[in-house]
Structures are given as structure tokens and as C-alpha cells.
Structure 1
């Protein structure tokens, strides 16, 4: 349980709240709505004792995310646990490389320099060109699942393999290294030193075998070796898990809501706009990547002071009733555009267009191929521990039968 929030910009931080852990992707902690009813941001005490601002209001969330000048993504302090890379990078060159190319922790102009190297492969046009390959892989994977029996775990048996295939294809990870990629980047116990070492090996492997993919673009660019290693490591470790999470999580909602399931089966063309509701309603990030206030600023009555941490909750903001009517209802016919499940501003998710295409294709084929699909059990129906120091919902196992 959390303490009562202190919502005054100059209030005593000793009355700050703590992160609630009683939420699920389907029913986020009611504490978020209670805080938002009082103010769009609340003082929150992190696990390390740091007191910052937890943003729950939609308008304030967008304002913070789009203001990269006054809300820096450098010097991040997480609200729970410890930094993902603490104690895992023994070599200074690994630390320097990761920081030089880590677009998740850079401000302009370095952020701009690194990000522009990779965005082309994630444009709407480029990603749509990947659809035939994604479609073929999903078909093959479902053939394998059906041939193996009449039950499956939609996360490990389907969501993870589909996300790995799409990720490896767009990045340019050789097919014969995809198994190793899965072992390292889809592991429950992530080891950053192994992630960066793998990225370094793939970069070396690709130098003499450039293709039409993201890693080849990085190698053709004017990025330094450190920047190239950093951005490659970040891209390998980011986004895939969100796709793997969203596919089974969305299916839990559909399989427990016959009306919504029937609507999609009745009108398959609805799937494209419905993806926006999938990601709005099931937003993964209880708190997005931390910001640090660069200079004193007041927004919507909240007095942000230089040096304070700011944690924007995409989960809470996407459930703001001032922006989305009846926000706690899952409605595949809703106009959910404008959600911030993929972030917002210059740090918005690079791979969001890929995620839309892959999620839509995976859900479409599941509904088409397995008309008798039913949910047996979903671990995430009850609160689970956060997936990491960046507080995100865990997908858990999703047991289905047909």
C-alpha cells in the first residue's frame, strides 16, 4: 500500500507516495486514478530514496515527453530496483560505447545524430515491405504449434518467436544467430554484458556482408565504433519484448470479452485501427524512461525543480478520462489514436510502426486459424512483479487450448 500523495510542488517530500504494485495490464492500480483526480503529477519516492514526480495526467505527460530541452533523458534514476546495467559492465569501453549510442539516455544533438542513422528502416513504407515475410513466418509458426497438439503458451510459444523473427529481420541479425539472440535477449535474467558482446560480434560479422537492414545502415554511417556498438545494443534490447508482450496480452482481453472478439471476426478490416486500442488499453510501461528536470519550470500547476526526476506513466496517462471516454473499457471500435503507449516526442519508440504491423498480423492469423481458441489461464490476470528496473508489466504465461 502507498502513502497519501503530496501534490504540492513545494511540499515536504517525506510525504511522497511509493509505487503501487497491485495492478495488471487489464486493471492498473486504482491508486493512479486517485492521484490523477487530485493533480496530474504526484511526488513519488523511488526504491533508492530519490523523490521525484510521477505523472499520471495525459496532457501533462505529453507536455513533458515533447519538451526534451527542459526534461532531459540523461542522468536517469529509476523508480524501482536498480539501473539495469549497474554492476554488469566491467570494461570501460563497454560503458562508453553503450552511453555514446544509447538513444534512450541521450539528449540532442547527440540523440539526433545517432537516431537519424536508423529511423529509415522503421518508417511506415519500409515496415510494410516486411509484411510478406512476417506473414509467412506467422503461418509457419502456427503450423508448428497446431502440429504439436491442442494447447500452447501464447507468450513463449508464439509471441516470443514472432517478435524475434521480426526483430532479427529488420535489424539484419543473421538467421543462424537468431537462436543465440533469443537466448540472450529473451531471457528472463538479462545480462547486459552478454547483450553488448553479442552486438559487437554481429557488427563484426556484418562488416563484410552488408545488406538492406538496420545494422548495415549503421556500419555505412559516420557513427564511431562506440556509437555503433551502443545503438546496436539498444536496438537489439528494445521493442521486441513489447511485441511479445502485446500479442498474448491482447488475446487475453479478446478471449474474455466475446463481444470484442466477435467484432474483430465479423470485420477483419477493423484490426488496423484496433491495434491502437490494443496498445492503449494494455500499455506496458507503468513508468517510461526517466527524465531529469534541466531547469525550473511550472506546468499545469506542478512546480518542477532542476535536478528532480520525472517518471511519466503511459499506463496512467492512457487511462485519463479527460482524453479517452470510458477509459477503463476495452473497445476495439474506439478511436484510440493519440495514445502514448509508444511514447511521444523525439524519444518516441523507433519501432512503433513495426510493432503495429506485427501485432496486427499475429492477432489476425490467430483468430482466423484457431476459431475454437479458448483461454485456460493467464498469469497476468493477477499482479506480477515488474519486468525490470524500468517498471513494466510482465506478460507471464498465457495458456490456451483449441
Structure 2
């Protein structure tokens, strides 16, 4: 019997459990350990609340979770309630699937001013993550800047742009919905260091911006390369650039989402809180590199959301790659018996589905490198350790009770109304 602990219950964690289950059959016991009482990680707290179809993948994870040899162990924090060394003593393999929940720093003066928020925190706020329940982003001004040209930047801009009615059917939290409904934003500027051909926005998500009730995207035609240059792009990017070309001709609406390309933020200014971001005009060289021109200008913004990437938080005793912002590993192997999958392994790249082959690869490594029948205690040992420390775990069936309570309290048309604090989640379970 192999005993495997997976730390993190997001897509990478569940795909790894599924792969191990298929590979080892009844000869494996897998505990999926998460610091929160609720599973699914990025699916619950990262995917935009108005993209419910994407969240449907959780049904696949539920099928894995309800099998006899996989168990969800919620409300257990690594580093507080137990250590990596203790997990090594109990399990044949420990797999870190902790994702990359922390924002990368901008690295410019003024980023510590009030009103400058990383996308992990901002997205966590409107998605109901307990760590960001009290964020209270400043939404009372007319101008917002969004730094970055990936899908997260698109999500942030779209969520800020929508009317209350356009959130019908979403699971955005009620406090976030009320705050956004009362916002007085009139202009959102998306800042990108490079040009339209270097964006990381997918066509479906970019196209959504052109069909909002009160908001219209705006692109300066001078920022676009000649149309014939689009032919060299891969098909997805070519479609995205086609959307940008369409945005140059759209009629204005009360709110504008302006794409400002070739604009590198160099500092943020304000009297105790963000008031403007100073950007430098950039240019591309023949190899696609970017350099500053020395020309600077100010973009007004009382709220600045940085969408430039994420990093995995380090864990004491686990080798860490500071430059890449993830655990140091070779093809998923950190050290004998210790593995990483998903963003904790490769950094914040790829889609949700990218985690599936990633989990399979690590399962195969465990099969080749970890002998079966080692005699380690696994699940019973973990239960005894946590019980001695007075820690009450939350199982998957417990989570289903929390989920039922969220569904019962949903506003009309919404799939659920999330509990946004640990206390509320556990109280719902107690009720």
C-alpha cells in the first residue's frame, strides 16, 4: 500500500490524485490536505465569477473525492498544524500542489501606496477568499489602471466594467457586487510594456470586452502594426489582435477600457494613496526586446491593480527557486519522496487543463521511485497527530454541507452565495 499526501486541493492536486488512483488502483491511499475548509483552489477563488462554465470542471474533482481511497482533509495548514518532516514520516510521497497565490511585486517606487493592489488579492476579494474578505478596494474615483496584458488583466477590467444586471448567474460575492454597483469608475487604462502582437490574452476573453452594456474598449490605431504583419502570428493570437483592430472603430459608451500599449510603469505617485502612475513610452527592437524611450507621462488612477504574475510562497525546509517564484525541482522532483505539481512546479503558466498531464507525470514518477508497502502509517497516523493537537478536520462530505448552505442562501439566479470567512464556513458546518 502506498500512502500519498497531496498539499493543495486545486486542479493540480485533484488531477494528481486522479492519476495516482488510476495508476495504483486499490493499492493507494491519498489524503488531499488544504488550509481552507473548502476545496478546488483556483476554480473557486481564481476563475472569474461570471465564467461559470469553466467552474464545471469541479464535478470531475468531486467524482475523485468521493471514492474510498481519496480523502479531502480541510482546515489543516502546513507549517502551523503539521510540518513537512512529519508528513515525510507518515507518507511514502508528499506532493506540493499549493499553486501560486501570492502576487509578484512591481518593483517600482510607490507600489506600497494605498490603492495599489495585486491581482491575487483583488480577484480573491470578488471571489470570496477569506484572506481578502476585508480588502475594500477604492472604487470611488473615476480612473483605474490595470497593469498587464494577460487574461487576468482582462478579468479585472471586465469585472470593474459590468453593470449589476450583467452579473446575473455569476457567483460574485454580495459585498463585492454591492461595492462595484456603487463605484464611480469612468475610465480603465490597461497598461502593457509591449505591443498588440505581444499580448497574452485569449480571443474569447478579449472578445467579451466588446459586448458590455455600459463599457467600450478603445485602442489607438497608431499602436497597431500593419495588418499584413498579423499573418505571421499563431492563430489564437491572430484572432485576439483582430479583436483589438475591431476596438479601434467601436462607438464610445459611458465607461471606457483603454488599451495603452508600449507603456511601462516606472513609479506610482500620490499623497498617502495612489493618484497616478507614471509610465515611460517604450519601443521594441527587432528581436522583440523592449527598451525605454525616455518619454514619460501620467495616467490618473486612484486604484491600480497589478496583473503581472504570481509566485508560490516558500515552505521552510523545501528548496525554493527565488527567481522563478516556485519550488526548485527537476521534472516535478524536489527531493526523494517530495514532489511538486502545477504552478508550484512550473510557475504560473498554462491553463487549468495543463495540470492534468502534469499530475500524470508526477504520478508516474511516484510509481517508479516510491516502493509500495513501505510500512508507513499514512492516514491513521495523520488523524492521530491532528487529534492530539486539537485540530478538527473538514472532510469532503463536510464540505458538501457547507456547499448546500451556500446554495440555500444564494440571491435569485446565482448558483451560490459564498461564505467569505473561515468562521462563517465552519459555523455553517456546525449548523
TM-score (norm 2): 0.23
Q: Which one has the bigger helix percentage?
A: 1
TM-score (norm 1): 0.24
Q: Which one has the bigger strand percentage?
A: 2
Which one has a bigger Cα radius of gyration?
A: 2
